[in-house]
Every structure is written in structure tokens, then in C-alpha cells.
Structure 1
């Protein structure tokens, strides 16, 4: 008797006793039964709801382009296809363990990682990490600025566009902005690599690359000032200072008669725009103008 006939009627549960006996003697009878038994465990996901079959069939026929039908597509192959597609859908929907967290302008946030390490994100910053096997592979990507309080464990890596920071258990701050990469170590030991420059930082050490120039420095504070709603700078171009002001206050800053590469040392608060502007402009012998709710004009002295 034809093998395809036996398989097709077996799938329909329409075999008589003689045919069942013949089917059980097929070489791949056990394989067929195994596939059917395991295919029963797949369920439709809850991500979408389809129209009833007749509606779907009508819509499909009205929109599809004619294609050639493949002959000889056996029932067994159909079952195998269902199993493969089901597995693909399962992994697509349920195995994605990537977590992305970001902050908006003027917003700060603290995130707890799977090992209870903590990350404090400054304004307009983001991190991305995979929770799968986190204890064995502690690694995340940073865009912006963040303060890390790392629990003891295996190596912990922070990767940015400008460089990589590697630690075991420590506290440090990483700032990665356009043409600006800075790492401050507040506790423990930090290894920093950017391009060909690698350094091991101890508590109080600063690693900085600004506009392609590498420098090292020292700090005496126990945590970054931005966690206290203050931004602190030491010999940083005024354009970088005003960029941080924009991130903290959701404003746009323009300049008139200003050398934007002039270096600024000082700090500004995050909770009062006028006080922040005074703290920036007064030491630099500049003035400011609040043109609208979100536009600030910084004026330099006329020559």
C-alpha cells in the first residue's frame, strides 16, 4: 500500500486495523509519532490575535500573487516545518534577555543589575546589558555618563564608543560624550583602555581624553557631584560646560562673541537655571540672556 496514503490517513486518525498494522511496520513510523507528540506542546503566543480562518482566507486570496505549488510536500515535512517555525517563534519572543535603560533631558535614574550592582545614570544617558548568565559575563554598554557601584564578583566591563573600563568590585564614574571620555575612580582599582592608551586607576585617579588629548588627574571627593544635582568641571572648555547645562535644563544655548574653547573651572546647580547661569558666566566675565522658555544666549565682552 502507498506509504504517503498511510501517513496521510494516520494523521487524520482514519486507518483501519490492517492499515494501522502496516503503518507500524514503516521504517519511520516511530519518528512520525515522536514529531506529532512533541508538536502538541507548542501553543500560540499571546502577542497577536488573528481573524477567523474564512476571513483570513478571503483577504489572503484577494491580495496574494500567484505562485507555483510544490508537489511532493509530504505530511511529515509539513509537521517538521511546524515544529521548526514554532521553535523560531518561541526563541524570538521569549529568549530576548537584552535590557535597555535610558534617561531623558534633566532626568537621573538608578538601576540595579542582576548581581545587585547599581548604576546611576545622568541626564541623556543610556545603558544596555544582557541578563543571561550575568554572573559569568558582567558586561554592559554605556552612552553618556554613569556612576557605577559594582558588587564583588567576576570581571565587570563597561564599554563605550571611546574606550573600555574593566573592574572587579569598585565605584567609579564614566563620562562618554562627543570628543570627551573621562573615568574617575572613587574606590578600588579600575583598568581603562581607549585606543592604545591603557591605565590602571586607583581611588582618586582620573583618566581623561578630551578632543583627542590624553591627561591624568586627581580628585578628593568620594562620589561624583552630579549625584548631588551639581555639575563640576576642572579646566574644561566652556562649550562642554554649556552642553551639560543643556542636558540638565532642556534648553538651547547659543553664543555671541565667545571663544568656546576657553577653559572653565567651577560648578553649577541643577535645580535653578538662573543660579546656574550666574555660576558659569560671572567667573568667565560673560553675561546671559533668557530669550525664551528654552533659549539662552551667552554674550562675551565686546573687543
Structure 2
């Protein structure tokens, strides 16, 4: 999740509580809020975050000529974008001075990094993280989209922020997975606080919590570390759609489904180093057939009776 995305949502007044925390961590956020509050005496035209954001960037890059503002009917949530010119200057400031560290893993790739405080993060395939290295000592916040394992050095509060919820700790080991509406946290050492839009929970060593399709599931985890550390993805009563998406991420393939009930639940596992074995592990229990069409394309279909 990059800064441009956050700025777009801020302009449209659509930030979630977790996203707002990340916006607050941007070096230029105070400047933006300050200059836009100075424009509160103006009235703004109707605003579309993504469209007007791109227009602003184009205008900033091409010219410094002030933009004329039409006064249309007043909408209270648009106070912060009252003046296109003022917001444009604020965006320009952030583009120049904001410096988030952003990392992304590829298909089938696992990446380990060490943060400025000696905490470590291990990212599963197709995962993105972002954090402010300059402010890290005072503000240990990291944004996650995907799945990662965190070994947190003791110290100030450490927050992992996702689109589905936030995990807060002081010093512990835990795994966070956020893929679309799927949000899962497993605690391997110490304790963590999990905050979502609907629930708050404290997890201790061996606990896990999962949010999916409006359901909240809690349980126990006896493993010493995440299964994907050992090149294995395991699942307990997870919709088949999630299984195939994870298979695509681990092998960099495209799966074509034909007459497959993707809402049925799957319990099992697949390996990350042998595609045939992985496909058999999934398709056999579900009574499905598969065909490897190309190196990066697989068809899966219901088995003929």
C-alpha cells in the first residue's frame, strides 16, 4: 500500500481507521492538513479522489499556474479539499519529501529483512510492506498487504496495519495474513492485540484468530512456526477459492476453473516445491481433475462421474 493510494483515499475522505494511522505517519501529513485547513473558508466542487488526484499530479508536473476554482453546492466532507491549488501544493510537498521504505516479494518468493530496531520480518509470496525508516525509533508502524511473520524486538509499541485490521505488540513472534477479506493472526510467542472493524481480541502463545466472510473463528495452534517457513501451505476449513489463489501465488501460475464449487471448504496442505504433488494434494480430496496446459497455466475441473 503506497503513499499515493493513501493520499487518494484521504482526499476522498475514505480512509479506514487503520489507513488513517498510516497517513498520519507520512512526513507530509501535518503539512497537508495544515494547508488544507487554511482553505476551509473556500467551497469545493464535487471531487472524485482517483480522477482528481491524477489531474492534480499532471497539473503540478506541467505548470505552476494557479487553478481556477468553481463554487458549486457545499458538501461538508469536502472541507479538506476546498482548494484544488492548496491540495496540489500539499501533494507536491509529499512527493518531494516523503520517503517510505517499500518492499515486495514475487511469486514463490520468501524475503527476510531486519528493521532498524533489530526486529525481523519474513514475507511470504506476493506480499508488500511499507514503513517509515526515518521515524522508526519513535513510531514502529508497518503496513502489510499479504502474509508475513514478525519477530519483534522488545521496545515501544509495534503496530502492523492492514486493510482488515491492526495487530499491536511490544515484543513477540506472530504471523499476519491479510488477503482481500481474509484476515488471520497467529501468535507464536508472547501476546498480541488484534483490532478489526468489528472485534478486539488478545491472543497469547498458541492462539489464532481468523476473520473471513463476516465470521470470526478462534482456535489453538501448536506449531513452532508458520508452515510456509517449511515450504508448505496448510488450511483448516478454508474456502477452495482461497486455496487456489495461494497456489497461484506460490507457483506463479494461472488457474482456470471449470465447474468447481469454490465456496466448499478445504482442510489439507500443499507443498511449494512440486506442482504436481501440490495439485494432487488439493484435487484428490475434492474429487477434481487437473491438466497442466502450459508451464504457467493449469486447468482444474469437476471429475466426470
TM-score by length of structure 1 reads: 0.68
Pick aligned residue for 2:208 from 206, 209, 227: 206
Q: Cα–Cα, structure 1 residues 91 and 105, in superposed 2: closer, same or farther, change >3 Å? A: closer
Cross-structure match for 1:20: none
Pick aligned residue for 2:240 from 222, 238, 253: 238
Q: For 1:54-65, what aligned pairs fall within 5 Å after superposition?
A: none
- Between 229-238 and 96-105, report the one with greater CA deviation: 96-105
CA offsets 1:17-60 (integer angstroms, 9 cap, x no match): xxxxxxxxxxxxxxxxxxxxxxxxxxxxxxxxxxxxxxxxxxxx
Cross-structure match for 2:288: 286
**SS of corresponding position for 2:285:** coil
1:96 offset after TM fit, Å?
4.0
CA–CA distance in structure 2, aligned partners of residues 91 and 173 of structure 1: 32
**Which of the pair has more CA radius of gyration?**
1
Please, which runs of 5 or more residues in structure 2 have no aligned partner? 1-62, 64-91
- Higher relative contact order, structure no. (Cα contacts within 8 Å, ≥ 6 residues apart): 2
Pick aligned residue for 1:301 from 297, 300, 303: 303
Query: Does structure 2 retain, via aligned residues, the 8 Å contact 1:135–1:153?
Result: no
Tell me how large the CA RMSD over aligned residues is.
1.9
**SS of corresponding position for 1:283:** helix
Cross-structure match for 2:127: 125
Query: Does structure 2 retain, via aligned residues, the 8 Å contact 1:107–1:248?
Result: yes
Question: Aligned pair count?
Answer: 215
Please, which runs of 5 or more residues in structure 1 have no aligned partner? 1-63, 65-88
Q: Cα–Cα, structure 1 residues 236 and 133, in superposed 2: closer, same or farther, change >3 Å? A: same
**SS of corresponding position for 1:247:** helix
CA–CA distance in structure 1, aligned partners of residues 93 and 282 of structure 2: 55
CA–CA distance in structure 1, aligned partners of residues 100 and 181 of structure 2: 28
CA offsets 1:105-145 (integer angstroms, 9 cap, x no match): 11110011000100001111010000123122110100110
